[in-house]
Structure 1
Amino acid sequence: MSIASNRELAENKLILLYILDKLNMPVSNLQLTKIVMENKLMNYFIFQQFLDELCSLKFISPKITDNKTYYTITPSGKQALDYFVNHIPKGIKLIINNYISNVRKNIRNETFIKADFTPENENEFTVTCQIREDTFSLIDLKISVGTKSDAKDICKNWQKHSQTIYSEIIESLIKPRD
């Protein structure tokens, strides 16, 4: 392996650490893949290999929540990044910084606002809607509905309007009743 390819391997690992550091929140494999692929930072297979290697080195910490793996940079990963950050080309850092500032809110919403449904039988679906802040759950709502279409509509509305719906639920629950 040549010195140039060793440098590229190290640079790609540093890019992953840089992305996680700049996001400063847990991010799913899908979200991380989207960032890497949309910005053409490396190919998918190399990305997955480096992600696994960085986890093995304990530079990235994987945590499973709701059957999804979320990644964060560890203190040792942050230390390595701080030491070698200048090995990432300035143009790539600029691309990452711009991209993250544009999608940060969407990533946060995807991470902390969840809506999903599971079929119980052909005429019953359980919809789960959540809002979380860090590890604290503001609301965890389960609703049974009769059609898949209703379940999809609830999920779509929750993703788009969860803050408003949450406020309406709280207001309705605290309003004095006769």
Structure 2
Amino acid sequence: MSSIENSRELAENKLILLYIIHNLESPVTNLLITKIILENKLMNYIFLQQYLDELCEGKFLTKIDADEKLSYSISPAGKQSLEYFTSLIPAGIKARIDEALAKYKKSKKNEINIQSDFVAVKENEYIVSLRICEGSFTYIDLKMSVGSRNDANKICDNWAQNSEKLYSKILSVLTDTSN
């Protein structure tokens, strides 16, 4: 492969990444971008990670590292480059990407839903309800009685902030056979 072909492929792959991240319209997790790229056989994993790093170094993408989840969003320079050079992405690849993104956006409606609420039953008695659902599937639906409004608020706040960790701990304790 000539250096011109290599340069064109490099530019095309970086534009594909900018196109996907731009069209998802929100910070995109590394996991999601990897899933879309690999499922659609657009490039291999090593090049994908290399290109993401290079796009961040070039200030075309912004890297967001929050809650131990690496995400990317497109920068103004990335949007401008995409606007100028989007025609370099082959129409067939763009159509595959658009189809994959439409499928993702449709399935996003089945996103994980974390709920926490409480109701007063009588004075100094509150029922706290905690749930994690994905679409029509319920991972956990937990109700408990607590003695104060303050405790009910704390439980709801902790669930909202740490539901994944708490769910894992509950599951671990309930499935532990060493006791």
TM-score by length of 1: 0.64
Q: Gaps (5+ residues) in structure 1? A: 116-126, 130-136, 153-178
Q: Would the aligned equivalents of 1:27 and 1:107 in 2 still touch at CA under 8 Å?
A: no
Where 1:140 maps in the other structure, the secondary structure is helix
Assess, with a 3 A threshold, how the Cα gap between structure 1 residues 73 and 85 changes in structure 2: closer, same or farther.
same
Match of 2:103 in 1: 102
Q: Would the aligned equivalents of 1:128 and 1:141 in 2 still touch at CA under 8 Å?
A: no
Quote the offset at 1:67 in angstroms: 1.1
RMSD: 3.3
Q: Which amino acid aligns with 2:33?
A: L
**What stretches of structure 1 move > 3 A for 4+ residues in a row?**
105-110, 112-115, 141-147, 149-152
TM-score by length of 2: 0.63
Q: Deviations over 1:56-113 (max 9, x none)?
A: 0110111122111111111110000100000000111110111101112445765x85
Q: Gaps (5+ residues) in structure 2? A: 116-129, 133-156
Q: Would the aligned equivalents of 1:29 and 1:69 in 2 still touch at CA under 8 Å?
A: yes
Q: Would the aligned equivalents of 1:31 and 1:107 in 2 still touch at CA under 8 Å?
A: no
Percent identity between matched residues is: 45
Q: Would the aligned equivalents of 1:21 and 1:73 in 2 still touch at CA under 8 Å?
A: yes
Where 2:43 maps in the other structure, the secondary structure is coil
Match of 2:70 in 1: 69
Q: Between Structure 1 and Structure 2, whose CA radius of gyration is higher? A: 2
Mapping of residues 11-50 of structure 1, within 5 Å: 11-50=12-51
Mapping of residues 9-158 of structure 1, within 5 Å: 9-107=10-108, 113=113, 140=160, 147-148=170-171
Match of 2:3 in 1: 2
The CA distance in 1 between the partners of 2:174 and 2:28, in whole Å, is: 26
Instruction: Count matched residues.
Output: 133
